[in-house]
Amino acid sequence: MVKYILKKIIYMIVTLWIILTVTFFLMYSMPGDPTQASAKVLPEAVQKNLEAKWGLDKPLGEQYVIYLKNLIHGNMGESYMTPGLTANQAIEERFPASLQLGLQAVAVSLILGLILGILAAFNRGKWIDFVTIFIAILGVSIPSFVFAALLQKYAAGGIFPIIGWVTEGMGLADIFKYTALPTMAAAISGIATYSRFMRSSVLDVLGADYILLAKSKGCSRFQIIWRHVMRNAITPIISIVAPQIAAIVTGSFVIERIFSIPGLGRYYVDSVNGRDYPMILATTLFFSMIFIICMVGMDILYAVVDPRVRKSIIDGN
């Protein structure tokens, strides 16, 4: 296991380095540059000043080397848009909101999605099956910005703030109030996806011989679902959830924008639009790292759920 983790860490560093390098050079070939991010054209002298200050006047290769050197020392640079704000600070500031929203959304969508999926599979062709299909179709074909706007309009009810986010020292009741609507908005597509996948894989499992055996042994319905169905039907869910956790905890631009949540997703988009190079690189690296960690987690989970898989993934064949 230690060897496995070590191997994964080395892989991660190499992968991150490749991602960084590609992103670095792609980023500089985007049209427009940081001195042109605002509508007002800066005097030429000011543009020159800025370029010198940010080192943009040096050859690209040299800039890359400088960036790598700084990175090794843990310095990811300072924002162009907000001088004085380092990339580390920005992520520290923005990530918690995205993380909390993401975890809540994943939790809600997993719980609801799995329950709906199992219910639908056990009641195949009955009304409850159609209700879940209906929910799933709505969830996936109504864009999240529409759903969020509808929630703000009809579900806020004067109780839930339309915008805003948790601040330091808030009580549990307030945390709930502030996070309820965005969590629902972020969870809806997950509910749709998980319920459909769960329904399908439960149906796959239900036909298996061991379920028949369990039934004939007189196992209770709950026991069958928990001990046999869940364990065997969960693999595809793991495959979907793991990368989705990465995507969702690093922030959803749409939800964060509509609910004014100070999260990382919106910050990343703002950085690209403002050509804030150090911030683009920092958020990209951070996102990729979380994604890779989730992928490793996914492989470990496969092994936990199905011990047969262990030898091919972890022990390395």
Partner 1 sequence: MTDLNNSMTEEMFQGLGVDEQSSETLVRPSISYWQDAVRRLKKNKIAMLSLFFLIFMILMCIFAPYIYPHPYNEQNIAITNQGPTAEHIFGLDDLGRDIFARIWVGGRVSLTIGIVGALVSLVAGTLYGGISGFCGGIVDDVMMRILEIIVGIPYMVVVIIVSVFLGKGMTSLMIALCMTSWTGLARLVRGEIIELKESEYVMAARVLGTPSFRIITKHLIPNTLSIIIINTTFSIPSFIFSEAFLSFLGMGIQPPLTSWGAMAALGQQQMTYYPHELIFPALAISVTMLAFNLLGDGLRDAFDPKLRQ
Partner 2 sequence: MKKRVLAAILSAVMVFSLTACGGSNSEQSSKGGDEKSDGDSAGTAKVSTVMLTDPDTMDPGRADDEQKNAIVLESQETLLRLIDGVLTEAGAESYEISEDGLVYTFHLRDNKYADGEEVKAQDYVNSIRRIFDPEVNCHNAGIFYCIKGGEDFNTGKGSKEDVGAKAVDDKTLEITLVESLPYFPQLLTFSNVTPVPEAKTEGEKNSSYGATAEELSQCGPFYITEWTRGSKVILKKNPNYWDAENIKLDEIEMVLAQDENTRQQLLDQGQIDVLRNASAEYVNLKQKEVDAGDIQLISGPQPRNAYICFNNTDPNGVFTNEKIRKAFAIAFDRDAYAEQVLKKNKAADGEIPPGTAIGEDIFRDLYEGPMDELLSQDAKKLLEEGLKEIGKEGETLEITFLQKNSDNETKVAAEYYQDQWQKNLGVKVNIETASDNSAFNNQVSKGLYQVCETGWGADYNDPMTFMQCYTTGDGNNPAFFSDAEYDELVNACKTEQDHKVRAEKFARAEEILTVEKCGISPVTFTYSNVLVSKNLKGIYVNGAGGPAIEFRDAYVE
Residues in touch with partner 1 (CB under 8 A): 11, 14-16, 18-19, 22-23, 26-27, 29-31, 133, 136-138, 140-143, 145-146, 149, 192-193, 196-197, 200-201, 203-204, 207-208, 235-236, 238-240, 242-243, 268-269, 272, 280, 283-284, 287-288, 291-292, 295, 298, 302, 306, 308-309, 312-313, 316-317
Question: Residue 169 contacts by C-beta under 8 Å, 6 or more apart in sequence?
Answer: none
CA separation, residue 304 to residues 165, 179, 217 (Å): 36, 32, 26
Cβ-based nearer residue to partner 2, 74 or 158:
158
Taking a C-beta distance cutoff of 8 angstroms, is the pair 151, 168 a contact? Answer: no
Question: By C-beta, is 14 or 146 nearer to partner 2?
Answer: 146
Q: Give min distance, CB of 310 to partner 2, in A.
A: 28
What type of residue is 184?
M
Q: Which is nearer to partner 2, 228 or 266 (CB)?
A: 266
180 binds, among partner 2, partner 1, none (CB under 5 to 8 A by kind): partner 2
State the CB neighbour count (10 A cutoff) for residue 240. Answer: 15
Min CB(169)–partner 1 separation in Å: 35
| DSSP state letters, 183-229 | HHHHHHHHHHHHHHHHHHHHHHHHTSHHHHHHHHTT--HHHIIIIII
Long-range contact list for 277-280, CB < 8 A, 24+ apart? 277/27, 277/28, 277/34, 277/54, 277/77, 277/80, 278/76, 278/77, 278/78, 278/79, 278/80, 278/87, 279/77, 279/79, 279/80, 279/81, 279/87, 279/90, 280/23, 280/27
Q: Which does 36 bind (CB under 5 to 8 A by kind): partner 2, partner 1, none?
A: partner 2
Rank residues 95 and 302 by Cβ distance to partner 2 and give the closer one: 95
Least separation in angstroms between CB 232 and partner 2? 25
User: Quick one: 153 or 217, whose CB is closer to partner 2?
Assistant: 153
DSSP state at residue 14: H
CB of 86 to partner 1, least distance (A): 20
3-state secondary structure of 78: strand
Looking at the Cβ atoms of 15 and 176, the one nearer to partner 1 is 15
Instruction: Residue 87: name its binding partner from partner 2, partner 1, none (Cβ under 5 to 8 Å by kind).
Output: none
Minimum distance from CB of 127 to partner 1 (Å)? 14
Nearest distance from residue 196's CB to partner 2, in Å? 18
Among partner 1, partner 2, none, the one that 175 touches (CB under a kind-dependent 5 to 8 A) is: partner 2
Element holding 162 (H helix, E strand): none
Name the binder of 155 from partner 2, partner 1, none, CB < 5-8 A by kind. Answer: partner 2
Residues 150-179 as b/e (b if ≥16 CB within 10 A, e otherwise) read: ebbeeeeeeebbeeebbeeeeeeeeeebbb
Q: Which is nearer to partner 2, 182 or 302 (CB)?
A: 182
